[in-house]
Amino acid sequence: MTTIAVASTPLVEALLARADDALVHAHRLSEWCGHAPMLEEDLALANVALDLLGQARSLYQYAAEVEGAGHSEDDLAYRRDAPQFRNALIFELPRGDFAETIARLFLASAAMLPWWQAAMESPDARIAAISAKAEKEVTYHLRHAGEWMIRLGDGTEESHARVAAAVAKYWPYTGELFEAEHPAVAALLPDPAPLRAAFDATVARVFAEAGLDRPRDGWMQKGGRRGVHTEHLGHMLAVMQHLQRAYPGAVW
């Protein structure tokens, strides 16, 4: 199957970045289907993954329209190779254990909720509509993950150690979630950088209840927004894109 060449513009790239974040994170969460520690959580993580998949679809659809090259949402999801993806690196890292999954979901949701809330005020009606729906979903994601962070952090010695290790693992990847948008899209999409204060406040509140220490800020991993990824994304895409690569253009 041949890959597509996306007619890149700042707005298309920005939409793809958020769509890729949601798609890759949804795939990682879906890997828990049938493997979560309890049935309720199995369903909860699957539902969060479906929310994120819906966000990805809406953003891919709009990106394809803005691009105007005749591509579909499936083309953007299944016919781009890893260097063409613009997701933040935190989402492509392996699933890890349950504590790692919850820590990643919490940190990502704490970063994304204020972004979606700000994007609801976009003068672009399509972006505002997508954001209004996503804001409701991510509000739930943050509450769900936050409650688990407290339960694990303030639980047993084992659960506390695991979630603390998970936070330490993912913290160096959080900086990329606040990289500035291209100036050309400043009027349509919120700049993530000023939203770091809202993220910090959420983290401080939940960590205080969970008995967790906030890691020190330092050097941050980055590259995903420019298409520089870990080897994990390529392996993930090989699984996710298998059907389209084996049977190009297949439909149900």
- Domain positions in the chain are 10-246
Q: What is the pLDDT of residue 2?
A: 75
pLDDT in tens, 131-173: 999 999 999 999 999 999 999 999 999 999 999 999 999 999 9
Say which CATH architecture domain 10-246 belongs to: Up-down Bundle (1.20)
Give CA–CA dist 15/5, Å, rounded. Answer: 16
Q: Please count the CA atoms within 13 angstroms of the CA of 4 that sit on its side-chain side.
A: 21
Cα 228 versus chain centre, distance: 16
Give CA–CA dist 50/45, Å, rounded. Answer: 9
Give the residue among 142, 77, 71, 132 at the shortest CA–CA distance from 106: 142
Which residues neighbour 215 within 8 Å (Cβ) at sequence distance 6 or greater?
A: 167, 168, 171
Q: Is 231 helix (H, G, I), strand (E, B) or coil?
A: helix
DSSP tag of 68:
T
Give CA–CA dist 118/123, Å, rounded. Answer: 11
Backbone φ, ψ for residue 70 (5° rounding)? 85, 10
Q: Are 122 and 130 in contact (CB under 8 A)?
A: no
pLDDT in tens, 30-72: 999 999 888 999 999 999 999 999 999 999 999 999 999 999 9
